[in-house]
Amino acid sequence: MAAVSFHAVKKAFGKTRVLHGISLDIADGEFMVLVGPSGCGKSTLLRMLAGLEDITAGSIAIDGRVVNDVESKDRDIAMVFQSYALYPHMTVRDNMGFSLKLRKENRKRIDEGVARAAQILNLQPFLERHPRELSGGQRQRVAMGRAIVRDPKVFLFDEPLSNLDAKLRVAMRAEIKALHQRLKTTTVYVTHDQVEAMTMADRIAVMNDGRIEQLGEPLELYDRPANLFVAQFIGSPAMNVFDGLLRASHGKTWVQGLGTQWPAAAVPAGSDGRKVKYGIRPEHLELSGSGVAAEVLVVEPMGAETEFLVRVQDQTFTLVTHGRAGNGPGDRIYLVPQARHAHLFDAASGDRL
């Protein structure tokens, strides 16, 4: 186990700059998720940590040792690829034992290592099979097994669940999480799926356009997004956001927008008249007998809760309520935003007020 630290790491492919100085410290035993839209540089950052990409500038350290010029195989890391990258011509046993074989471990040690990993992942019945004879979930577990066998300082996961169907993805998510709780190995996990990030991470680094937008614990990012990007990226369904004018007078704070008043929590003095973006999560809009008038567009009953797509002027909102809906498309309903859960962002910079 080991801590990992990135210091002012930059990456450029020719003239294209992909990462603009990433600094990030990952604690020993931590489960760190790098999340962001495709092209944000998260995979590149992981591959640099793995030693598969050169580091253009800055430094990466594993367990206190700068590894910029250290070969992948000497970094004591193991990586699980999106495509699994299992060796097709080898059995599960040989796939998992390959790294030990290359290290010239003796047969007995290899067998022990493979047996231990197979037992952790319930792969014992499949050891003599080839990857093509396995289902997607089993291949995924073999890929993890190959990583476990090495007993590395750091686990790297590059979108490992993207190739699985929805049900299996949820199951494997829990399995990886349980594995981490058992082995407590420092883990860096890359995904574009914010649900994976929220459910698995100790801490999340939200990345966009080669920069870290915000670093924090999942609920911290959810409750206090540092900017508009994080606010809209984290959370499903996404936060509702629209333009407005911030007003504060007589101890009352609200945002004037969409032809009505939207309550907000107190803001620093002198903010009156500022152009802002008003953000409110779907579950923080309540249905009521009075409030902001809206027209129902779509009702999506999901059993435990109901999702509404509604319209206020030309702005659509999503809202989630518990229980069943008594409304249908075309109905007029009234929304009451919970003021203490409203998010305010500067209209120009997108930063949280």
Partner 1 sequence: MRKSSKEAVLLLLAIPILLWTLLPIYHIFLFSISSKDSAFSGTLWPDKPTLRNFGTIAYQEHFYLHNFWVQIWNSLWIAVAAGVITLVIASCAAFAISRLKVRGGRAVMNLALFTYFIPAAFLAIPMYKAMGAYGLLNSRWSLVLAMVTLAAPYAIWVLKQASDKLPFELDEAARIDGATPPQLFRLVYLPLMAPSLVAIGTYALLLAWNEYLYAYLLLSHERTITLAVALGHFIAADDSPWELLMATGLVFALPPAAIYYAFRRYMVAGLTSGAVKA
| Residue numbers at the binding site for partner 1 (CB under 8 A) | 50-52, 71-73, 77-79, 81-83, 85-89, 98-99, 102-103, 146, 150
**In the beta sheet, which residues pair with residue 317?**
310
Q: Shortest approach of partner 1 to residue 241 CB, angstroms?
A: 38
Q: Is 128 helix (H, G, I), strand (E, B) or coil?
A: coil
Q: Shortest approach of partner 1 to residue 85 CB, angstroms?
A: 4
E strand spans, the chain? 4-13, 16-26, 31-35, 57-62, 65-66, 77-80, 154-158, 186-191, 203-208, 211-216, 240-249, 252-257, 260-263, 275-280, 285-288, 292-301, 305-312, 315-322, 332-337, 343-346
Q: Shortest approach of partner 1 to residue 51 CB, angstroms?
A: 8
Residue with smaller CB distance to partner 1, 131 or 218: 131
Q: Shortest approach of partner 1 to residue 42 CB, angstroms?
A: 17
Dist CA 313 CA 299 (whole Å): 18
Dist CA 260 CA 31 (whole Å): 44
Q: Shortest approach of partner 1 to residue 87 CB, angstroms?
A: 6
Residue with smaller CB distance to partner 1, 146 or 203: 146
Strand-strand pairing, 203-208 and 31-35: parallel
Q: Shortest approach of partner 1 to residue 263 CB, angstroms?
A: 52
Residue with smaller CB distance to partner 1, 113 or 279: 113
Dist CA 98 CA 84 (whole Å): 15
Residue with smaller CB distance to partner 1, 187 or 214: 187
| Of the candidates 6, 109, 126, the residue with the CA atom closest to the CA atom of residue 55 | 6
Residue with smaller CB distance to partner 1, 152 or 210: 152
| One-letter amino acid of 29 | G
Q: Shortest approach of partner 1 to residue 203 CB, angstroms?
A: 24
Strand-strand pairing, 332-337 and 186-191: unpaired
| One-letter amino acid of 52 | L
Residue with smaller CB distance to partner 1, 103 or 252: 103
The position carrying tokens 């659509």 is: 316
Residue with smaller CB distance to partner 1, 63 or 331: 63
